[in-house]
Chain A
Amino acid sequence: MERARRAAPPDSRPFALIAPGAGGERLYAVCPAAVRAGLALSMRVADARALVPELRVRAADPEGDRAALEDLARWCGRVSPWTAPDPGAAAPLSGVLMDITGCARVFGGEDRLLDGLLRDVRALGFTARAAAAPTLGLAWALARHGETGRRGWCAADDAHGALAPLPVEALRLTPEMCAALRRFGLSTAGALMGLPRRALVRRFGPELARRLDQALGGVRETLSPLRPAPALRARVRFAEPLITLDSVGEAFAHALTRLCALLEREGLGALRVRLTLYRADGGVGEMRLAAAAPVRDSAHLIRLMRHRLERAGLDAGFGVDLVEAAALMTRPLDAGQTSLDPDAGAERLAAARLMDRLDARLGAGAAACAEAVDSHAPERAGQWRSGAAAPAVWPRRPERRPLLILDPPEPAEAVAEIPDGPPRRFTWRRVAHTVARAEGPERIAPEWWRLTPGAAARTRDYFRVETGEGRRFWLYREGLYGRETRQPGWFVHGAG
């Protein structure tokens, strides 16, 4: 609702969002002026226009609302790592759930936390109410139906006492069930609490009892957070928003230094680090750093961050007032003892660090190590795998392979003396080559267990040849003559 009003020019006339409903368009959300004029939710637009002829309407955008709510939940990550959007059945019921266990101390108490949160959310242009309670259900109920008073929020410690005066709608029930309860004269949660549980379940089903227990804390309810909570995180908050990306880089460096101190205390090294910036206008930007080997060297992480920052496309916008560095993936990394042989291990580590820097600057997957695969297919036997550590020992194989391998093999026109002999002449890349020396064939059958059904499985006969000029190529003839094909094709698969 408020998203739409912010987009429209300011106007004092009543305003409503409409969405298709039963029997035509119905009001989806209404502004306070419209409520004063007598409009209500889910009223037909024709009826509403009859009551308030000057009503302005716009089509509702539920998808956009949901995305905006998710953004808001992410933005609330500045208060607690455990946040989740809670899209309600109707627009005014949507909210953000947060687990602030242990967070209040950081902000100087629950009161200050809620005050600050509401102030910030209102500064974004939203009308907001908040509540803090021992259970998610009770907080939900209080935020929507509780007496918030002048400050706009309420907090409760005693679940039974706080829930009793609230209406049954506060229990997150379907409108039909609320209507049924009200028909029986059960209009408050307190009235339900007084009734025997068995009778309630028999009459209204288990859902009612579950919701009641959730609000009272009898049943455990956890929220599934929008983003997985990192094991370790460090954040830096600024009184004045940072405007330039350079200063954001400095802030990230600061946060990374703190994160490394935390990692050292825990005896861990980070493999993945997420850097998040929270903008003053409610936007959130994030980038990730990856390391090939566990790292808690802040200088290395800061270097990676600076390489990434140039290309991550982050935007400081109207200013950044909070940055966070979180270790998403950690491994034990014990404090190293100086080895008698200083080079042992240090070289592998240097290679891993170099890989990190190359990946950070050139894009993930830029640096690759050789990986040995137990296969006879030449293109599979030795592969380049990014992000993996180099093998300690390369297996010694008897097959002779060229220095360079073409992927995919390129067709060549070749002339052979006998059907399964080596080529005598071949034309590749528009140049004719005359073969002076040749060795082979090395027959490699396709790996039938890896073939996709229907694909042609042809045996390859590989020849190492040297041209009259001394150039070496690696050719193969695809298909056994007569048995697999009538016209075997020639391909150049390697050189050198």
Chain B
Amino acid sequence: MAGPGGRVQDMSRDCHDGAPQAGAAQMDCVARPERLAALRGRIAALETAGGRSVAARARLSPRETDASGADDALATFRARAGLHDIRPDSYFDAPAAYAFAVRWLAGLPDDRLVVWVRGAGDPRLDFGAPCPDGLAACGLDPARLLLVRARAGADALWAMEEALNAGALVFGEAGAQRAYDLTASRRLQARAAAAGSCVLALASHDASGTSAGLTCWRIAAAPGLAAPWRGAGGLAGLGALRVRAVLERQRGGPPGRFDLEWSDHALCSPEPAGLAGGARPPRRAAG
């Protein structure tokens, strides 16, 4: 399922270290990482009873992913079964948020059915219907996808829950609707955790309100590097897609910021983000 666009490169990361302060003084220096992991595990176990998410959360430290050398910065978040909220940073960043969500689903190791629940025609998320060939280019096999058109907000939420019950991965544009409140997000989170599945809820850029999701992301498009060939009209060609993902909130962990780049070409090696010209700070500060 990896396809041409399955690789995620994490280039700059400025996550705060999430070590709890309490009890740190009593810790033995040698056993400190193990004890930290154990403590985190206990806290997570107190919070939720889902064994699967606990295991994932125990590994939730930026340094550990650095050490392991994993090329997928989102792997730790993706492994957590539950609800993840995604919001574009501004109106025109919505396509980038879609791209982020689709690549999130495409990067999951299992090839389960993916259910894409379209909203009830929210104008703030109206950038067209998914294009099967575009999905394939993102690494998501269109044959895996079921597109659901819901007329009302409640219908969209119902369809998302029903798809979770069937064990599918769900991407819903329901986040833009009024029916999507704390209660609805709690329900989705519980269903997803029970089904061991992942549900992504896309909200509009101006959506407010709280959510019971595990993580909350704010996505902005970022200028990518120029391709090493000439494009049209004297302009440079399009390089790899680059997205700035701000982890605004996560349950049991610190916020963070990721510059992500997906290299669509198998032979093209990703370069560090520091070379990217005109890096734009996100509109809302992290944390």
Interface size class of A (residues with CB under 8 A): 35 or more
Chain B neighbourhood of A361, CB < 8 A: 155, 158-159, 162
Chain A neighbourhood of B95, CB < 8 A: 402-404, 471-472, 495-496
Taking a contact as CB atoms closer than 8 A, the residue among A362, A402, A441, A466 that contacts B155 in the complex is A362
Stretch of A68-76, A220-228, A414-422 on the interface side: A414-422
C-alpha spacing A52/B152, complex, angstroms:
63
Taking a contact as CB atoms closer than 8 A, the residue among A354, A400, A424 that contacts B162 in the complex is A354
Q: Is B151 touching A367 in the complex (CB atoms < 8 A)? A: no
Q: A471-B92, A472-B95 are in contact. Are A402 and B222 (CB under 8 A)?
A: no
C-alpha spacing A441/B233, complex, angstroms:
10
**Cβ of A470 under 8 Å from chain B:** yes
Chain A neighbourhood of B144, CB < 8 A: 390
Q: Is B113 touching A394 in the complex (CB atoms < 8 A)? A: no
What distance in Å separates the Cβ of A132 from its nearest Cβ neighbour in chain B?
A: 51
C-alpha spacing A382/B140, complex, angstroms:
14
Q: Is A464 touching B238 in the complex (CB atoms < 8 A)? A: yes
Stretch of B45-53, B79-87, B128-136, B175-183 on the interface side: B128-136
Chain B neighbourhood of A494, CB < 8 A: 128, 131, 134
Q: Is B232 touching A402 in the complex (CB atoms < 8 A)? A: no
Q: Is B223 touching A403 in the complex (CB atoms < 8 A)? A: no
Chain A neighbourhood of B136, CB < 8 A: 394, 396-397
Q: A361-B155, A404-B131, A469-B280 are in contact. Are A463 and B232 (CB under 8 A)?
A: yes
C-alpha spacing A473/B183, complex, angstroms:
36
**Cβ of B146 under 8 Å from chain A:** yes
Contact with A along B152-189 (1 / 0, CB 8 A): 00010011001100111000000000000000000000
Chain A neighbourhood of B15, CB < 8 A: none
What distance in Å separates the Cβ of A379 from its nearest Cβ neighbour in chain B?
A: 9
**Cβ of B236 under 8 Å from chain A:** yes
Q: Is B146 touching A401 in the complex (CB atoms < 8 A)? A: no
Chain B neighbourhood of A463, CB < 8 A: 232
Chain B neighbourhood of A465, CB < 8 A: 238
**Cβ of B147 under 8 Å from chain A:** yes
What distance in Å separates the Cβ of A194 from its nearest Cβ neighbour in chain B?
A: 71
Q: Is A405 touching B166 in the complex (CB atoms < 8 A)? A: no
Q: Is B130 touching A372 in the complex (CB atoms < 8 A)? A: no
Chain A neighbourhood of B238, CB < 8 A: 437-439, 464-466, 472
Chain A neighbourhood of B133, CB < 8 A: 378, 381-382, 397, 399, 401
Q: A355-B146, A362-B148, A470-B242 are in contact. Are A384 and B129 (CB under 8 A)?
A: yes
Q: A405-B128, A421-B232 are in contact. Are A496 and B98 (CB under 8 A)?
A: yes
Chain A neighbourhood of B162, CB < 8 A: 354, 357-358, 361
C-alpha spacing A465/B243, complex, angstroms:
16
Q: A363-B151, A382-B132 are in contact. Are A437 and B226 (CB under 8 A)?
A: yes
**Cβ of A37 under 8 Å from chain B:** no
Q: A471-B92, A472-B95 are in contact. Are A358 and B131 (CB under 8 A)?
A: no
**Cβ of A406 under 8 Å from chain B:** yes
C-alpha spacing A400/B95, complex, angstroms:
16
**Which residues of chain B (8-49) have a CB below 8 Å from chain A?**
none
Contact with A along B239-276 (1 / 0, CB 8 A): 10111000000000000000000000000000000000
C-alpha spacing A421/B232, complex, angstroms:
7
C-alpha spacing A358/B3, complex, angstroms:
30
Chain B neighbourhood of A418, CB < 8 A: 233
C-alpha spacing A404/B92, complex, angstroms:
13
Q: Is A350 touching B233 in the complex (CB atoms < 8 A)? A: no
Taking a contact as CB atoms closer than 8 A, the residue among B96, B128, B134, B241 that contacts A407 in the complex is B128
The DSSP consensus for interface residues of chain B is: mixed
**Cβ of A353 under 8 Å from chain B:** yes
**Cβ of A391 under 8 Å from chain B:** yes
User: Which chain B residue has the least Cβ–Cβ distance from A424?
Assistant: B233
User: Which chain B residue has the least Cβ–Cβ distance from A397?
Assistant: B133
**Cβ of A59 under 8 Å from chain B:** no
Q: Is A403 touching B150 in the complex (CB atoms < 8 A)? A: no
Q: Is A405 touching B131 in the complex (CB atoms < 8 A)? A: yes
Chain A neighbourhood of B232, CB < 8 A: 421-422, 438-441, 463
Chain A neighbourhood of B92, CB < 8 A: 431, 433, 469, 471
The DSSP consensus for interface residues of chain A is: mixed
**Cβ of A128 under 8 Å from chain B:** no
Q: Is B147 touching A354 in the complex (CB atoms < 8 A)? A: no
**Which residues of chain A (410-451) have a CB below 8 Å from chain B?**
416-418, 421-422, 424, 431, 433, 435-441
Q: A358-B148, A369-B146, A441-B232 are in contact. Are A350 and B131 (CB under 8 A)?
A: no
**Cβ of B112 under 8 Å from chain A:** yes
Chain B neighbourhood of A403, CB < 8 A: 95, 98-99, 102, 130-131, 134-135, 137-138
Contact with A along B104-145 (1 / 0, CB 8 A): 000000001101000000000001111111111110011111
**Which residues of chain A (466-494) have a CB below 8 Å from chain B?**
466, 468-472, 494
**Cβ of B209 under 8 Å from chain A:** no
Chain B neighbourhood of A433, CB < 8 A: 92
**Cβ of B285 under 8 Å from chain A:** no
Contact with B along A347-381 (1 / 0, CB 8 A): 10011011101100111011111101000001001
C-alpha spacing A350/B168, complex, angstroms:
9
Chain B neighbourhood of A384, CB < 8 A: 129, 147
**Cβ of A392 under 8 Å from chain B:** yes
Chain A neighbourhood of B93, CB < 8 A: 471
Q: Is B233 touching A401 in the complex (CB atoms < 8 A)? A: no
C-alpha spacing A347/B112, complex, angstroms:
8
Chain B neighbourhood of A468, CB < 8 A: 223, 278
Taking a contact as CB atoms closer than 8 A, the residue among B135, B147, B227 that contacts A367 in the complex is B147
Q: Is A369 touching B233 in the complex (CB atoms < 8 A)? A: no
User: Which chain A residue has the least Cβ–Cβ distance from B163?
Assistant: A354
C-alpha spacing A365/B142, complex, angstroms:
18
What distance in Å separates the Cβ of A293 from its nearest Cβ neighbour in chain B?
A: 14
Q: Is A378 touching B131 in the complex (CB atoms < 8 A)? A: yes
Q: Is B131 touching A437 in the complex (CB atoms < 8 A)? A: no
Q: Is B146 touching A351 in the complex (CB atoms < 8 A)? A: yes
Q: A361-B155, A495-B95 are in contact. Are A370 and B132 (CB under 8 A)?
A: yes
Q: A368-B146, A403-B99, A436-B235 are in contact. Are A354 and B134 (CB under 8 A)?
A: no
Q: Is B236 touching A437 in the complex (CB atoms < 8 A)? A: yes
Other than A361-B162, A366-B150, give 12 A-B pairs with Cβ distance below 8 A: A347-B113, A355-B146, A404-B129, A417-B234, A422-B231, A422-B232, A433-B92, A437-B235, A437-B239, A438-B232, A471-B95, A496-B98
Q: List 29 A-B contacts (CB under 8 A).
A: A351-B166, A353-B166, A354-B166, A358-B146, A361-B155, A362-B151, A368-B149, A369-B143, A369-B146, A370-B142, A370-B147, A382-B133, A384-B129, A393-B143, A403-B99, A403-B131, A404-B95, A404-B134, A406-B128, A407-B129, A437-B226, A437-B227, A437-B236, A466-B238, A468-B278, A472-B95, A494-B134, A496-B96, A496-B134
Q: Which residues of A contact B (CB under 8 A)?
A: 347, 350-351, 353-355, 357-358, 361-363, 365-370, 372, 378, 381-384, 390-394, 396-397, 399-407, 416-418, 421-422, 424, 431, 433, 435-441, 463-466, 468-472, 494-496
